[in-house]
Every structure is written in structure tokens, then in C-alpha cells.
Copies of this chain bind each other. A is one copy, B any other.
Amino acid sequence: MFFEDVAVGDTVEYGSVEVSREEVLEFARRYDPQPFHLSDDAAAMTPFGKIAASGWHTAAMVMRLMVDKLISEGFATLGSPGVEGIEWHKPVFPGDTISARSGVVEKIESRSKPFMGIVKSEVTVTNQDGDIVMTSRPIMMVARKPSA
């Protein structure tokens, strides 16, 4: 799957993952030790009400869903120069199951790097109740067909 195989409007379903309480705590201890990610008592004092996953953990779990799909399809990704935005709309709680899907919103041929192009997508992440918990707009570098 090269840059040429992607079209604006294409959508992809990345499947889902159940959020493990142990992993929420492990991620938070290492990367985001704010009390509302580590303790139900502390979280009860905040709008979350109970322990919620770090937004960075949610982003990482979504990345894993996307990478598994992209690798399984032989997608020629060359990494990412960034993300145009991330919104954490609702908390993600241990025990939730989150699902991700994306749509291609823009394709840009690279002038300086003729071996690749830029693909911009809009990613939507929902929980088991259908609530949107996260949106993001990743930018991906994708290899062009060797013949192109």
C-alpha cells in the first residue's frame, strides 16, 4: 500500500481494545503520575470521578491499533512529522473498550522528497457506549510506488 493507493475519503476501521486497569496505572506511574490517573480517592475530587487513563495512554493505545492494521496491510509508512491536534472529549476508564476509525482528509505530494507523500487523516475514538472519547488529526509520511 503506497501513497498512490490512498484516496481522500478512504476510511479505515482499526478494531478495538479493552483498557486494562493495571496498564492504566503502569502507564500513569511512568509517564503521567497525576493523582487522578493513580488513585480513585484523588480522582473522586475531580470532574473524572474515578481513575481515568492518561490522555497520552489513550493516544498510545490508539497508535497500537493503527500500527497493527497498517502493518497487516503492508502500508508503506515512513513515520510522522506530527499531529495537527488531539482532543480528549471524555475520560477513558479502566474496563472501557475503545475503538478507532479514521478517514483520509488530504494528500500532499512532497516536492523536496519525491520518494514520499503526506497523508492527513482524522481519527475518531469511541467507547463501548458510542461516546467519542478522543479525536486527532495525524500526519503520515507514506512511500510512493517505486515506479512513480
Q: What residues of chain A have their CB less than 8 Å away from a CB belonging to chain B?
A: 27, 30-34, 36, 46-48, 52, 54-56, 59-61, 63-64, 67-68, 71, 77-89
Contact = CB atoms under 8 A, between A and B. Distances in A.
Given A80-B88, A82-B86, 6 more contacts: A27-B60, A30-B64, A32-B64, A33-B71, A34-B71, A60-B60
Number of copies: 2
Contacts of A56: 56, 59-60, 63
Contacts of A64: 30-33
A46 B76 CA distance: 11
Contact of A78 (B31, B33, B47, B67): B47
Contacts of A34: 67, 71, 77, 79
Contact of A46 (B63, B78, B81): B78
A88 B78 contact: no
Contacts of A48: 79
A23 B68 CA distance: 20
B87 A81 contact: yes
Given A30-B64, A31-B63, A36 B79 contact: yes
